[in-house]
Chains A and B, each alone.
Chain A
Amino acid sequence: MIALLLRDLRLAIRAGGGFGLGLAFFLIVVVLVPFGVGPETELLSRIAPGILWVASLLAALLSLDRIFALDYEDGSLALLATSPLPLEGAAMVKALAHWITTGLPLTLAAPALGFLLSLAPEAYAYLLVSLMIGTPALSMIGTFGAALTVGLRRGGLLLSLLVLPLYVPTLIFGAEAVRRGAEGLDPTGALMLMAGITAGSFALLPFATAAVLRINLR
Chain B
Amino acid sequence: MSMWEYANPKLFMGWTRPVLPWMFASAGVCLVVGLVWGFFFTPDDFRQGSTVKIIYLHVPSALMAINAWIMMLVASLIWVVRRHHVSALAARAAAPVGVVFTLIALFTGGIWGQPMWGTYWAWDPRLTSFLILFLFYLGYIALWEAIEDPDTAADLTSVLCMVGSVFAILSRYAVLFWNQGLHQGASLSLDKEENISDVFWFPLLVCIAGFVLLFVALVLMRTRTEIRARRIRALEARARRA
Contact = CB atoms under 8 A, between A and B. Distances in A.
A141 B164 CA distance: 11
Contacts of B180: none
Of listed A154, A208, A215, residue having the most chain B CB within 10 A = A215
A173 B162 CA distance: 22
Nearest to A165: B135
A211 interface: yes
A92 interface: no
A212 B143 contact: no
Interface stretch (A33-41, A54-62, A156-164): A156-164
A197 B163 contact: no
Would you call the interface of chain B mostly helix, strand, loop, or mixed?
helix
Contacts of B25: none
B170 interface: yes
Interface residues of B, number: 26
Contacts of A149: 143, 146
B155 to A, nearest CB: 5
Interface of A: 141, 144, 148-149, 151-152, 154-155, 158, 161-162, 164-166, 168-169, 172-173, 176, 189-190, 193, 197, 204-205, 208, 211-212, 215-216, 218
Interface of B: 132, 135-136, 138-139, 142-143, 146-147, 152, 155-156, 159-160, 162-164, 166-167, 170-171, 173-175, 177-178
8 contacts: A148-B156, A168-B132, A168-B174, A169-B167, A169-B171, A193-B174, A208-B163, A215-B152
